[in-house]
Amino acid sequence: MRASVRPLVPETAPVFPWTLGEVRASLALCPPGAFHVTGLRLERLGPDEWWGDLVGYRDDLGAPFTWQGFRIRRSRGFQVTAPPYLLDLDGVWRALVSSTVQRLVAAGLGDPTTVHGTALFVAVERAVGLPGPGNAGGERVMPAAPGVGAWLSLAKRYRFAADLVRDSLVLAIDAGPGSRMLARVAQRVVAVDASFDAVRYTARAWRSPRLSLAAAETRLPFRDGAFDAVVWLDAPATSEDLLPELARVLGRDGQLVLGCATRTALAPLHARLGRWFTTMTPWSQLGACAGDDPTAGWEIESGVCDDAAHALVVTRRAAATAARPHDEALVAAAAQLEAGRLQDAFGAFAAILRIEPRNVGALVGAAHCALAIDDTKAARTLLRHIIAVEPAHAGALAALDQLDRPA
């Protein structure tokens, strides 16, 4: 049976970037005339229920804002429930937000030509010079843009990561609201992004006193061992250039929380990770629930799940940092595996194992090749070798358990 990750209490890292205390403190310093709502995005959850994202702009901060998570239900009119971080605002702000959302809901859903659609945006006429809703960097930066499912999927991965990196010095790869969720429980977070626009937007919209931002690509501008943990939840399979940099900036026994879109995309990285990291623990993010409420899904469970929406691995920085004799050959073999050249890859992994039979990275790569061609006998042998070298190797244990289950 897979174990679900322990959820965080609402005051630490829920699936929203803000807490009630943070919103109240921010609004206490905001002149009413500096607060502008620019629109409301509505997405249907069911026949008579919608999700709402309120977007706007603060003149006093020179920053846009996104308040997601309003729930709207039709029952003798429209009933609006604010998200947890807006439930107990001070009187003047509670009245302003409530009346504004009610007015936009009535304007959007009261129109018979739009009420049956799946999503719509109700725009507010803006004063001259006031920026409108915009996006720089996709769903990780402005969660109102991609829809409820994409936002909740991303937010619950960051909630999972936040639980692991509490009180740590954290490097987050990719800017956006997720890095702010980490900053609420971490000692400090530095978020880097290849897009300068994404960094600039995050610095304005998702600011936090414990969050710093930088634009960087494959060469990270940090000293060796600078961080206790690295969080990268949307790593592409072709991440070879950045992995040694992540290992370099992690301190001894530092933790990497890595996520990919699918288990297939994560497989090539698994073979490479063995060069710098140990004790790899796999996790799987499930998809939306098959019920009436799509917001109830996207939970994360331990182990490998074939139909997972996202695959994750939590691993530790190897204590020894010196290069091993077959590092370059291992990287080349992993590249062949990623390219689908299974025969070449298996031959390269086998050549390493003939000289270094306890090389876990080569054993993992060879096992991936065997599983890819359904050679279960060879796969079982390789997986048992992995466990003999590293008894707690969660990926090998999970794969072997899957193979040994009755069809």
Spatial CA neighbour of 302 closest among 280, 282, 287: 282
**Looking at the predicted structure, is the pLDDT value of residue 8 above 50?**
no
DSSP string, 66-85: EEEEEEEEESSSEEEE--GG
Which of 7-16, 54-63, 109-118, 328-337 has the highest mean predicted lDDT (pLDDT)? 54-63
pLDDT band at residue 292 using 50, 70 and 90 as cut-offs: low
Structure tokens at 367: 């096992």
Look at residue 386 in the predicted model and tell me its pLDDT. 86
280: helix, coil or strand? Answer: strand
Looking at the predicted structure, is the pLDDT value of residue 70 above 90? yes
Structure tokens at 33: 């005339």
Asked whether residue 272 carries a pLDDT value surpassing 90, the answer given is: no
Tens-place pLDDT, residues 310-338: 888 899 887 654 445 566 788 788 878 87
Across residues 388-404, what is the average pLDDT?
76
6: confidence class by pLDDT, cuts 50, 70, 90? very low
pLDDT digits (tens, 9 = 90+) for 106-141: 998 887 766 677 888 888 877 666 655 555 555 566
**Is the model more confident about 217 or about 155?**
155
Q: CB atoms < 10 A from the CB of 406, how many?
A: 3
Closest CA to 254 of 231, 228, 232: 228
pLDDT at 5 (0 to 100): 40
pTM to 2 decimals?
A: 0.76
Structural domain boundaries in the chain:
1-6+135-322, 31-134, 324-407
Share of the chain above pLDDT 90, in %: 27
Return the CATH fold of 324-407: 1.25.40
pLDDT band at 32 (very low <50, low <70, confident <90, very high): confident
Beta strand 169-173 with 188-193 is parallel
What is the structure's pLDDT at 67?
A: 92
Helix 360-372 / helix 263-273 crossing angle, nearest 10 deg: 150
pLDDT at 24: 92
Q: What is the mean pLDDT of residues 257-281?
A: 78
- The CATH class that applies to domain 1-6+135-322 reads alpha beta
* Residue, of 295 and 309, whose pLDDT is higher: 309
230-248 confidence digits (pLDDT tens): 999 988 766 667 888 898 9
**pLDDT, mean of residues 51-61:** 91
Q: What is the pLDDT of residue 191?
A: 95
